[in-house]
Amino acid sequence: MKQAVVNCPQCDEIVEWNKTSRFRPFCSERCKLQDLGQWATESYRIPDKEQKIKEE
Ligand SMILES: [Zn+2]
């Protein structure tokens, strides 16, 4: 059987895509939290911008 693997988006580590890989597609909780942190920073910018437009 072919083993499904992915590369961790954060550090490029090979991650096995199966039920035991809790943090897939990330290799670890650390990489997952790093990515979520980046995503949260990005998403907070958009409402901030919209609010400014409404105020003007
Ligand atoms: Zn990683």
CA distance readout (Å), 54 to 4, 44, 49, 50, 51: 48, 16, 9, 6, 5
pLDDT at 40 over 80: no
Least confident of 11-15, 33-37, 39-43: 39-43
Q: Which domains does the chain have, with CATH numbers?
A: 5-55 (3.30.50.10)
Determine the distance separating the centroid of ligand 1 and the alpha carbon of 45, expressed in angstroms.
25
Determine the distance separating the centroid of ligand 1 and the alpha carbon of 18, expressed in angstroms.
16
Determine the distance separating the centroid of ligand 1 and the alpha carbon of 43, expressed in angstroms.
22
pLDDT digits (tens, 9 = 90+) for 2-27: 789 999 999 999 999 998 889 999 99
Contact status, residue 6 vs residue 17, Cβ threshold 8 Å: yes
DSSP label of 12: -
* Average pLDDT estimate for 40-56: 65
pLDDT at 51 over 80: no
Predicted pLDDT at 36: 84
What value does the mean pLDDT of the chain take? 82
Determine the distance separating the centroid of ligand 1 and the alpha carbon of 40, expressed in angstroms.
18
CA dist 27 and 7 (Å) reads 8
